[in-house]
Amino acid sequence: MQTVSQNKSHGGTQGVYRHPSRETKTDMTFSVFVPEHAADTKLPVVTYLSGLTCTHANVTEKGEFRQACAELGLIFVAPDTSPRGEGVPGDPANSYDFGLGAGFYIDATEQPFATNYRMWSYVTEELPKLIAAQFPVDTTRQSILGHSMGGHGALTIALRHPDRYRAASAFAPIVAPSQVPWGNKALGGYLGSNKQAWRKHDAVALIEDGARFSDLLVDYGDADGFLTEQLRPELLKAACEKANIPLTLRRQPGYDHSYYFISTFMADHLRWHAARLKA
């Protein structure tokens, strides 16, 4: 693991790191904030998954999470959204919603993407093991959150690993990718035409198929331009109500899809996670 940069912030250390990934066959960059802590102390860890077009840098620079993490004693991990580098295939039409910056947190089975686009295994297996080996993490206290495409990733990962993550939340998540254009393009391109395989990467479908989680927190802005066509939070609400999964679904008046929205409610989400991580 190579240290790209380290800066002191709120008494802790904000670092950016790079390593050769076994899963993606590329170098992967991620950021980690470690708050000030006593020697030999293990801290709970929150993993944040970013949205379309993002890298680790978007939330690291705009997310405004460090003060809350320092106060709450939380390690904050932010991976990239896709493999990158020479020879990694992108969208044939160079669109923003597939390929580079748009890994959708799944393991692709379709060529030419299957070799590198293994973001599910990267964020659920490879990166957590690396973080646990290199940072003072209490692996029994993990949680996950994300934004948009990353909200989709956080919800599906939590629903499929309910014993690993003590909390899960999302900002403006894509809750039912099988039913919206972004998801149809991504799931079809990475996984092919077998829509049964798509259901493992669709939060609403997972709940319909029996997946459960203790409780979920979701915020969205009612001025989000993607709300009606791509996000459709009402589908998650209906699925959770039918399955008796406690869902706190908050409509935030006037907020859009940007990091102005995310940063406004980030500390609130982190306090919600901390209450469950420290219970």
Residues 6+ apart with CB under 8 A from 136: 34, 37, 41, 42, 43, 75
Q: Which of 80, 97, 107, 224 is catalytic?
A: 224
Residue 97 annotated as catalytic: no
Cα–Cα separations (whole angstroms), residue 196 to 187, 192, 228: 11, 10, 25
What is the secondary structure of 237-251 as a DSSP string?
Answer: HHHHHHHT--EEEEE
Q: What share of the chain is helix, strand, coil (3-state, %, to 5)?
A: 35, 25, 35
Cross-strand partners of 143: 46, 167
Q: Which of 31, 82, 148, 169 is catalytic?
A: 148
Residue 107 annotated as catalytic: no
Q: How far apart are CA 176 and CA 167, in angstroms?
A: 20
Q: Which of 56, 147, 201, 257 is catalytic?
A: 257
Residue 31 annotated as catalytic: no
Residues 6+ apart with CB under 8 A from 179: 202, 204, 232, 235
Q: How far apart are CA 82 and CA 122, in angstroms?
A: 10
Active site residues: 148, 224, 257
